[in-house]
Amino acid sequence: MTVNGNGNDTGAATTEDLEPVEDFRARARTWLAGNMPPLGDGWNDRSDERRERERELQGRLWAGGFAGICFPKEYGGLGLTTDHQRAFTAESAPYDMPFSLNVPTLGILAATLVEFGTHEQKLRHLPPILRGEELWVQFLSEPSGGSDLAGCLTRADRDGDVFILNGSKIWSSAAYASDWAMCLARTNWDVPKHRGLTMFIMKIHQPGVTVEQIRQVDGTLEFCQEFFDDVPIPASDVVGEVDDGWTVASRLLVHERLAVGGGSPYTSGASASHDSGGADSTMVDAAREAGREADPHVRRLVAEAHVRQLVAGQLVRRITGGMATGAMPPPAGSIIKLFGATNVMRRTEIGLEIAGGSVVAWPEGDPGVGAQLGANSLSRQGVSLGGGSNEIQRNIISERVLGMPREAAADREIPYREVRRGGSGR
Amino acid sequence: MELQLTEDQEAFVSTTRRFLAAECPTTAVRALELDPAGFDPEVWARGAALGWTSLLVPEARGGGSLSEHGLSDLVLVAEEMGRLVAPGPLVPVNVVAETVGRHGSPTQCDEVLPSLLDGSAVAAWCGERPVPGRRDGDRIVLDGTSTPIEAGAQAAHLLVTVDLAEGPTQVLVPAGTEGVAVTPLAGLDLVRRFATVHFEGAAVDAAAVVGRVGDAAAAVDRQRQVACVLQCAETVGAMDQVFDMTLEYLGDRYSFGRPLSSYQALKHRLADDKTWLEASHAIASAAARAVAEERADADEMVSAAKVWIGPHATELVQDCIQLHGGIGVTWEHDLHLYLRRVTVNRAAHGTPEDHADRIATLLMGVPA
């Protein structure tokens, strides 16, 4: 039995049946050289053109037989191991890859679908996902509260074979340009909050759904808010059990922490999100641009930034390996998330220190590395907020990894309709 | 340590842990505070019998390991010793034993290895910074100082790097050689002893050269790597133990009618400490693997481990002292034993700042 990073059978009967990793690696190397374009400057671009380009790149992977390396064979994947995936990712480093499909589509939503989807749901969605035809997002957070995810107010009321969805979700990345979502909604108000939720698959662009883009500090319009007005969802699109959506959401969050931390078996190609604090070459370039390569303080900072990346990589390897064998409990994924976020915070600070005065102003149309580091710093806290804030990760680590007492909660064990609620502004 | 060990390694860890708990509890460490050697030779010999000094030596030379690479096993001993801040010159003895086993002449192996392997003698490593020297016919004459040298005053053999015109050269200098004077130093760790070794016209003949004259650069690099890997493993063991003690303490201790561990401010601190701790385990293990497998990135991983672990170890222990309250700054509580050990390890074999500059050189070259 081959087990992937989440302890799921990837579909292979025995390891003997599998192509040896080194053979796979050699085959991948040849195929990549012949079929994928070299990595250019645009890989981290968040534009709509880039997104469409990545769908096409994913299609190439599918056509070449290299899409969904750890996804089950039955649903279009290759049913191989994380070692195969690691080998492919290593070989793909010089090439342009559909990086943004990793998070959230493949690493979070497809991973959750593999775990909880019915046979029909998986058959319907996983192959198109692996072909780059379906981009997915999660509809979890609401304007009334970010961290208290189970305090969800969006409601789905059953009416025969359908549920009618009303409410609003927020902070979904690029929902306006995506196709499908997993949406958490309250289906029962007479039970405590965690027990009255259901997870749904829903088409984003349909009557009754309004998607608004939110402008971020860096000027991008990636985040969205959605409004639902009597949107019908077939009962066959329930993921997991009715009123057991919290189980699905909890696992979705585990997949999210793994995927964002770089430890998901379902992502392919080096994850871009790790380097959002500035890649090593950026730090070195900034030091050169500032003419400070010989400054002992700057040298120490460049080294620290590099060491942090090395440590982050090793931590991911340790924790995900431990989670696969059971030596680490699933909530240990929060260690990766917290480390990654604090790492970006510190690396961003290092970037500002190295860049010095060059963050202030630059010739029109000619921003240097320093300008880029300064602009990056504006959204520094984003990674410490998205996917569960650092504070929530610290709660999880202390309570569910270390076994310390849980926080008191005023909403535990009482019907959700009796729980006190504040304002609902975004 | 690695989360996944082989069955042999699991058994080895458990034997080592039982032995240390019985023979080297912190009360025994405290009892050695004023002991000149800082360790009990009889306990050291019994540790050696468990394999503490033979893992880096080839079987043909009387050593042997559990895994393909003995260093992967030896870091387990280092980590267990860190958990109890145990005494004993693990680093210098193993560094010297490995070097003699790899590069020593048959005569050197016969003269030096048996006593190191059975623990009846210890060795010191004066290898990090070369001592000035010159050729005088067949002899090599040393004039200079090595300091601080762990177990320098207890060692029967000194492995010294000499700066000769031909290049760095390593020689084995027997303790008591004319012209060698050893001055014990006082130090921060309760039981880890350092000394200054003065060489004043100390002469050895050609048979004392380990390997070839002028050709020791790679051996010295390897020694530095092994020393740092063992030291980092020991520090991580100490961090792990202090963290566990603190987690337990916060659960047992009550104020305002509730356990300290129920306060979110303290829970969040332990979550951060746990994150640093796991990161330290991860980079220490990565460095150990890279050095064990003699990979091209061994130097980089070792320096990364030194840069990361040193300051995080001292900060974690200091934070745990804070979480213990007043008892944490008393002599009677063991926390200071750990703080001493991780502070010494942070600064020995290159400070985090020294290693950061090595990384910077890898990335940007040497400053003009």
DSSP letters for B128-150: EEEEEEEEETTEEEEEEEEEEEE
Residue entry with tokens 């692996």: A130
pLDDT by residue (tens digit) across B8-64?
A: 999 999 999 999 999 999 999 999 999 999 999 999 999 999 999 999 999 999 999
**Phi, psi of B258, rounded to the nearest 5 degrees:** -145, 155
- Inter-chain contact B278–A300, Cβ cutoff 8 Å? no
**Extents of the domains making up chain A:** 15-134, 138-249, 272-401
- Inter-chain contact A402–B278, Cβ cutoff 8 Å? no
Confidence (pLDDT) at A360: 94
pLDDT, average across residues A77-101: 93
In this structure, are residues B101 and B56 in contact, taking their beta carbons and an 8 Å threshold?
Answer: yes
B364 CA: distance to closest CA in chain A (Å): 7
DSSP state of B85: T
Residue A69, helix vs strand vs coil: coil
Does the pLDDT at position A397 exceed 90? yes
pLDDT, average across residues A208-237: 95
Does the pLDDT at position A65 exceed 60? yes
Confidence (pLDDT) at A9: 42
Confidence (pLDDT) at A423: 67
For A127, other C-beta atoms within 10 Å of its C-beta total 19
Does the pLDDT at position A425 exceed 70? no
For A16, other C-beta atoms within 10 Å of its C-beta total 6
pLDDT, average across residues A323-328: 90
Distance of CA B177 to the CA centre of its chain: 26
Which of A260-269, B117-126, B135-144 bottoms out in mean pLDDT, i.e. has the lowest?
A: A260-269
For A384, other C-beta atoms within 10 Å of its C-beta total 19
Instruction: Locate the chain A residue with the closest alpha carbon to B304.
Output: A307
Which of A306-310, A352-356, A416-420, B218-222 bottoms out in mean pLDDT, i.e. has the lowest?
A: A416-420
**Can you tell me the ipTM of this complex?**
0.95
> Which residue segments constitute the domains of chain B, with CATH numbers given?
7-103 (1.10.540.10), 123-214 (2.40.110.10), 218-364 (1.20.140.10)
- Inter-chain contact A325–B259, Cβ cutoff 8 Å? no
Distance CA B224, CA B220 (A): 6
Distance CA A135, CA A115 (A): 18
- Inter-chain contact A302–B360, Cβ cutoff 8 Å? yes
Helices (H) and strands (E) in chain B, counts: 11, 9
Residue entry with tokens 């990135």: B297
| Bridge partners, B139 (sequence order) | B136
Residue entry with tokens 């049946």: A17
Distance CA B84, CA B21 (A): 8
Distance CA B230, CA B296 (A): 19
Residue A426, helix vs strand vs coil: coil
Does the pLDDT at position A409 exceed 50? yes
Among A288, A339, A407, select the one facing B275 at the smallest CB separation: A339
Domains A15-134 and A272-401 share a fold: no
Interface test with B, best of A147, A402, A406 (most B CBs within 10 A): A402
Average pLDDT, chain B: 97
Residue entry with tokens 């990346």: A309
CB < 8 Å from B in window 280-319 of A:
280, 284, 287-288, 293-294, 296, 299-300, 302-304, 306-308, 310-312, 314-315, 317-319
pLDDT, average across residues B276-293: 98
Which of A248-262, A330-344, B216-230, B309-323 bottoms out in mean pLDDT, i.e. has the lowest?
A: A248-262
CB < 8 Å from B in window 331-370 of A:
335, 338-339, 342
Interface test with A, best of B9, B261, B274, B351 (most A CBs within 10 A): B274
Determine which one of A91, A222, A256, A289 is catalytic: A256
Confidence (pLDDT) at A45: 77
Q: Is A304 a catalytic residue?
A: no
Instruction: Locate the chain B residue with the closest alpha carbon to A391.
Output: B268
- Inter-chain contact B4–A307, Cβ cutoff 8 Å? no
Which of A3, A90, A16 is CA-nearest to residue A320? A3
Handedness of CA B282, A252, A97, A13 (dihedral sign): positive
User: What architecture is the A272-401 domain classified under in CATH?
Assistant: Up-down Bundle (1.20)
Does the pLDDT at position A271 exceed 90? no
B312 CA: distance to closest CA in chain A (Å): 12
Helices (H) and strands (E) in chain A, counts: 13, 8
The encoded tokens of residue B120 equal 């009846």
B352 CA: distance to closest CA in chain A (Å): 9
pLDDT, average across residues A17-46: 91
Instruction: Locate the chain B residue with the closest alpha carbon to A334.
Output: B275
**Burial degree of A67 (CB within 10 A; 0-12, 13-18, 19+):** buried
First to last CA, chain B: 40
DSSP A252-293: HHHHHHHHHHT--TT--S--GGGGGG--HHHHHHHHHHTT-T
Name the band, by pLDDT with cuts 50, 70 and 90, for residue A14.
Answer: low
If one compares A292 and A386, the residue with the highest pLDDT of the two is A292
For A290, other C-beta atoms within 10 Å of its C-beta total 18
Does the pLDDT at position A7 exceed 60? no
Interface test with B, best of A299, A384, A389, A406 (most B CBs within 10 A): A299
Among A294, A311, A328, select the one facing B304 at the smallest CB separation: A311
pLDDT, average across residues A144-168: 93
Handedness of CA A354, A360, A362, A365 (dihedral sign): positive
- Inter-chain contact B359–A307, Cβ cutoff 8 Å? yes
The CATH number of A138-249 is 2.40.110.10
pLDDT exceeding 90 applies to what percent of chain A? 75
pLDDT, average across residues A27-56: 90
User: What architecture is the A15-134 domain classified under in CATH?
Assistant: Orthogonal Bundle (1.10)
B83: left (phi over 0), alpha (psi -120 to 50) or beta: alpha
Distance CA A260, CA A239 (A): 22
Q: Is the peptide bond before B148 cis (omega within 30 degrees of 0)?
A: yes
Alpha-carbon distance values, B362 to A307, A424, B43, B357, B367 (Å): 12, 52, 42, 9, 11
Name the band, by pLDDT with cuts 50, 70 and 90, for residue A10.
Answer: very low
Sheet holding B180-184, edge to edge: B180-184, B194-204, B139-150, B123-136, B157-164, B167-174, B209-210
pLDDT, average across residues B296-314: 98
**Phi, psi of B164, rounded to the nearest 5 degrees:** -110, 165
Calculate the CA dihedral of residues A230, A231, A232, A238 and round it to 10 degrees.
-120
Confidence (pLDDT) at A8: 41
Confidence (pLDDT) at A279: 55
Alpha-carbon distance values, A280 to A23, A306, A351, A357 (Å): 31, 6, 10, 20
Cα angle vertex B73, ends B68, B78, to 5°?
Answer: 155
DSSP state of B34: T
Name the band, by pLDDT with cuts 50, 70 and 90, for residue A11.
Answer: very low
